[in-house]
């Protein structure tokens, strides 16, 4: 295997769901899991296909209550292609299945460079002999509505016939996540099928409540010496089928090409999804030409976004980049979609949009900023609903939902199932209002990286001001502490949703929430001061902002409370009064305790009683902000944060974190690297392996963790370089990590394309391609340099 290919050998039914997720192919518009083509969904296989932003809402009975959930819909399965063989004059054998037939040399190869998945195996039977099979699939990056599967059958020793059944299967449910099995899962209705001679079938359906029309058309052709013995198009109620019978001659390959088009009523510039799908597939070229244009589109992507790191770490980073680019591709810029936490790879979290964009957008800003802008537009279009949500809760401004889907309402479930105890429990995760700060942070970072002042002064400003307005409204002055306080929230930790034995959910003065709220308020005030008077007046009118509100914003931004205890930052007020957990005893009893909350609940206890975190909470501040920025933030709030306090805080929470999220090791790895800690690499390595090794115990089969994958890329691009676009310059503060001491990548900064960044031999090299653009200012801790287009600057690092 090379840095560009990944292989899975043999056939292990227990590992299929994981392999399917990791072998998903997509193009930003839709994606299909890497399931074997001949199998329908079941306990082993799950051939899911998902179109970005295609959601549907269903009502289910849960724990004696009626609940409503919105899900990313599993669309009809275009992949299905099965076969069976018979000897001349003999009986037909059974339809081939890897679960019932003998497989020899079974192998899947994922080619990252060309974004193809190739499967090879030999099928051996006493009755029909040995049949070689090679299948290659793609989801086209050039034309986002096309996908194709080429299958080559080669009889090795005996003549006979092969029957091939190429289907579009509309009998699908959302069945990827076992713990959702009690919910209503049938989202696809009104299935119709049809045909277009000589080689095309189509299938259409609608989502049951969102009423999105979906249409697929499949063209199946055979290339073989001599004509196919028969070809029959057979649309049925829920399946559109094309059956072919072809002679098999030893040594003469039979090539079957299945080309598929997918359209929905959400698409632009179409009138009829069915007609569009049939027309598109009818005029599509053959597989070889499709592969060529598809590979060319990916070559352009890799040219602008590839990352070079030696060794296994580099191989994994490129794998992560592949999945990020096929979930959020240039096609995303034409769509109304957010960042699905589990990619387009499965149904966990119901395809919802959380705060994961916080780990994704900063990376995209420096490669495909048009995609970042589209992701921010997704939030902007839902700003009115966020403002209505705030008003409904008695607050001003915009209260964005913790989980978002089609229209921006709060999609966080009200009840969640603990698979350890089998009990349905109240879910208070909607109290994670810090998602608003993540959106504001991404607005600011996008505009700094792209120089898009028009966006900052219009849509970005509206979001930033309304989020700031919400924080100012939520903060209440406490005369006892002489501070503003934010009560009744949840932090990123997610374990703690209430005080022990409290009658209401929520916590007071979560440090991460309060500090990021202060940052948002400060940035909003900075922006207003920068704006020309006429812009500021227009903005006030658009958002209905009274200038009299601003003094309160200033005061809150400087006087929000940050709790401390025993010389460390408290995760929230009262954290120190919680009990200590016997970590060693629980590890000895359960082995892995990543989901400590579920373990304790199953024991009749609650994690709310303990000093135990699922993932970085306070320490997230050190992920978002450089040490200097963080000191300035605390200074603005009237607190002193020196290196000793921060190091004590890092040590304190490291000992009390179970790492129940794939984001946890990522954040801790960067924090420790910045602190020059030798144990940083162990956390970074865990972050790299989170999905490929499925360290969360089966969750990757339900979809990859997109935020963690993008976060590992950001760890190199921004974390180890200390790269931050700020104040019309690139700021650098390189961090040493011996295991990742060499790396290289290109980036796009404002109007400069293809800026090369390379670290090796204790030096950091920046190469700015020749152009007519203005020079780039680069700021380090001890100096600033200006690099003119066409020049290369080599910086000797002080810690080399």
Residues annotated as part of the active site: 494
3-state SS assignment for residue 188: strand
Write the burial class of residue 552 (CB in 10 Å: 0-12 exposed, 13-18 middle, 19+ buried).
Answer: middle
* H or E stretch covering 755: strand 752-760
Torsion of the alpha carbons at 267, 59, 421 and 657, rounded to the nearest 10: 40
Angstrom distance (rounded) from CA 38 to CA 165: 9
Specify whether the CB–CB gap between 112 and 299 falls below 8 A: no
For the chain, the maximum distance between any two Cα atoms, rounded to a whole number of angstroms, is 94
Q: Give the angle 667-671-674 at the CA atoms, nearest 5°.
A: 140
Q: What are phi and psi of 102, to 5 degrees?
A: -80, 125
Angstrom distance (rounded) from CA 46 to CA 702: 10
Angstrom distance (rounded) from CA 708 to CA 719: 14
Closest CA to 415 of 61, 57, 58: 61
For CA atoms 333, 335, 338, 339, the dihedral sign is: negative
Whose structure tokens read 């090679």? 134
Cα 753 to chain centroid, rounded: 25
Write the burial class of residue 194 (CB in 10 Å: 0-12 exposed, 13-18 middle, 19+ buried).
Answer: middle
| DSSP conformation class of 317 | H
Torsion of the alpha carbons at 519, 525, 531 and 537, rounded to the nearest 10: 130
| DSSP conformation class of 524 | H
Closest CA to 28 of 298, 412, 259: 298
Angstrom distance (rounded) from CA 165 to CA 245: 9
Tell me the β-bridge partners of 205: 214
Angstrom distance (rounded) from CA 574 to CA 563: 9
Q: Give the angle 625-617-612 at the CA atoms, nearest 5°.
A: 155
Closest CA to 203 of 232, 242, 229: 242
Whose structure tokens read 């287009």? 789
For CA atoms 759, 762, 767, 773, the dihedral sign is: positive
Is the peptide bond preceding residue 415 cis, with omega within 30 degrees of 0? no
Residues 6+ apart with CB under 8 A from 246: 161, 162, 164, 222, 224, 228, 229, 254
Angstrom distance (rounded) from CA 539 to CA 752: 30
Strand pairing report for 729-731 and 776-779? parallel
Tell me the β-bridge partners of 125: 129
């Amino acid at each position: 295997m090379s840095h560009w290919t990944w292989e899975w050998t043999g056939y292990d039914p227990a590992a299929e769901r994981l392999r399917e997720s990791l072998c998903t192919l997509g193009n930003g518009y839709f994606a299909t899991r890497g399931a074997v083509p001949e199998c329908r969904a079941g306990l082993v296989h799950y051939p899911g296909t998902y179109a970005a932003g295609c959601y549907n809402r269903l009502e289910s009975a849960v724990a004696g209550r009626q609940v409503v959930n919105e899900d990313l819909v599993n669309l009809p399965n275009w992949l299905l292609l099965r076969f069976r063989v018979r000897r001349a004059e003999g009986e037909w054998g059974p339809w081939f299945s890897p679960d019932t037939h003998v497989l020899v040399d079974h192998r899947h190869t994922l080619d990252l460079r060309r974004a193809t998945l190739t499967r090879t195996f030999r099928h051996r039977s006493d009755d029909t002999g040995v049949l070689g099979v090679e299948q290659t699939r793609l989801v086209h990056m050039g034309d986002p509505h096309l996908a194709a599967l080429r299958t080559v059958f080669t009889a090795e020793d005996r003549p006979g016939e092969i029957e091939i059944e190429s289907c579009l299967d509309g009998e699908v449910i959302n069945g990827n996540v076992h713990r959702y099995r009690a919910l209503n899962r049938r989202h696809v209705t009104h299935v119709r099928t049809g045909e277009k001679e000589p080689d095309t079938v189509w299938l259409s359906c609608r989502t049951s409540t969102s009423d999105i029309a979906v249409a697929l058309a499949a063209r199946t052709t055979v290339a073989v010496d001599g004509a196919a013995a028969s070809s029959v198009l057979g649309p049925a109620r829920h399946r559109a089928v094309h059956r072919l019978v072809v002679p098999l001659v030893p040594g003469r390959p039979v090539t079957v090409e299945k080309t598929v088009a997918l359209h929905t009523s959400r698409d632009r510039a179409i009138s009829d999804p069915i007609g569009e799908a049939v027309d598109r597939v009818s005029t599509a070229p053959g597989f070889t030409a499709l592969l060529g244009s598809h590979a060319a589109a990916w070559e352009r992507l890799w040219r602008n976004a590839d990352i070079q790191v030696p060794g296994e770490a580099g191989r994994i980073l490129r794998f992560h980049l592949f999945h990020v680019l096929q979930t959020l591709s240039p096609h995303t810029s034409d769509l109304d979609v957010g960042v699905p936490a589990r990619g387009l790879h499965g149904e966990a979290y119901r395809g919802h949009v959380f705060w994961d964009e916080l780990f994704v957008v900063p990376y995209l800003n420096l490669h495909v900023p048009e995609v970042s802008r589209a992701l921010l537009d997704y939030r902007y279009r839902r700003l009115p609903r966020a403002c209505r949500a705030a008003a409904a809760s008695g607050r001003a401004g915009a209260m964005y939902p913790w989980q978002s889907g089609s229209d921006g309402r709060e999609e966080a479930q009200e009840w969640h199932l603990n698979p350890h105890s089998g009990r349905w429990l109240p879910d208070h995760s909607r109290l994670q209002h810090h998602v608003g700060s993540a959106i504001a942070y991404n607005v600011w970072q996008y505009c700094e990286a792209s120089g898009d002042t028009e966006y900052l002064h219009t849509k970005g400003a509206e979001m930033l001001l309304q989020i700031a307005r919400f924080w100012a409204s939520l903060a209440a002055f406490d005369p006892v502490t002489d501070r503003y306080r934010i009560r009744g929230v949840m932090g990123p930790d997610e374990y703690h949703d209430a005080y022990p034995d409290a009658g209401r959910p929520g916590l007071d003065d979560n440090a991460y929430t309060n500090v990021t709220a202060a940052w948002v308020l400060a940035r909003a005030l900075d922006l207003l001061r920068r704006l020309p008077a006429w812009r500021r007046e227009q903005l006030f009118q658009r958002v209905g902002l009274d200038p009299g509100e601003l003094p309160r914003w200033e005061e809150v931004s400087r006087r929000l409370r940050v709790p401390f205890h025993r010389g460390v930052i408290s995760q929230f007020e009262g954290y120190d009064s919680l009990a200590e957990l016997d970590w060693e005893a629980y590890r000895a009893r359960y082995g892995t305790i990543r989901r400590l909350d579920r373990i304790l609940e199953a024991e009749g206890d609650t994690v709310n009683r303990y000093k135990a975190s699922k993932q970085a909470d306070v320490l997230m501040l050190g992920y978002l902000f450089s040490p200097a920025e963080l000191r300035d933030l605390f200074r603005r709030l009237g607190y002193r944060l020196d290196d000793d306090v921060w190091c004590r805080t890092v040590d304190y929470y490291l000992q009390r974190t179970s790492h129940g999220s794939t984001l946890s090791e990522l954040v801790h790895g960067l924090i420790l690297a910045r602190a020059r800690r030798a144990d940083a690499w162990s956390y970074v390595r865990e972050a790299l392996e989170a999905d490929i090794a499925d360290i969360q115990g089966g969750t990757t089969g339900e979809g990859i963790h997109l935020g963690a994958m993008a976060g590992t890329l950001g760890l190199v691009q921004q974390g180890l370089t200390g790269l931050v676009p700020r104040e019309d310059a690139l700021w650098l503060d390189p961090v040493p990590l011996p295991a990742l001491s060499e790396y290289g990548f290109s980036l796009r900064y404002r109007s400069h394309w293809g800026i090369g960044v390379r670290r090796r031999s204790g030096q950091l090299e920046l190469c700015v391609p020749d152009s007519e653009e203005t020079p780039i200012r680069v700021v380090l801790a001890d100096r600033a340099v200006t690099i003119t287009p066409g020049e290369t600057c080599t910086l000797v690092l002080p810690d080399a």
